[in-house]
Amino acid sequence: MSYDALTYSAITIVVVYILVVILLSRSKANTDRKLRALAYQLSMMQNNEDVRELCKNIRKTHPELCPGIDFTLKETNGKAEIDEWHSSKPRP
């Protein structure tokens, strides 16, 4: 069974459309995950004085860095510390 050019074009358009939908849904899921992590970091900074002080000290040495994006903080046993460092700047 042979197909004409219109059939091939329709199949190509459907495949491209499906790929675009898949890529957009993955991008949205990744964005949602990043927003949840950022919201957690902001909540922790609002509720914990040690985390705020550590964040202020980091911002004094690296004012261009953004907490929750360039670095994340964590609290263990009431003490704040750097959890992840995503910047190329030297870690304090």
Domain boundaries, the chain: 5-85
Contacts of 91 (CB under 8 A, 6+ apart): 82, 85
Quick one: pLDDT band at residue 79, thresholds 50, 70, 90?
confident
Reply yes or no on whether the pLDDT at 19 is more than 90.
yes
Taking the whole predicted model, whether its pTM rises above 0.85 is answered as no
CB 92 within 8 A of CB 57: yes
Orientation of helix 49-61 relative to helix 5-47, angle to 10°: 110
| Cα→Cα distances 60→40, 63, 64, Å | 22, 6, 9
pLDDT tens digits for 27-78? 888 888 888 888 988 888 888 899 899 989 999 999 999 888 888 898 888 7
Residues 55 and 68: their CA atoms lie apart, in Å, by 10
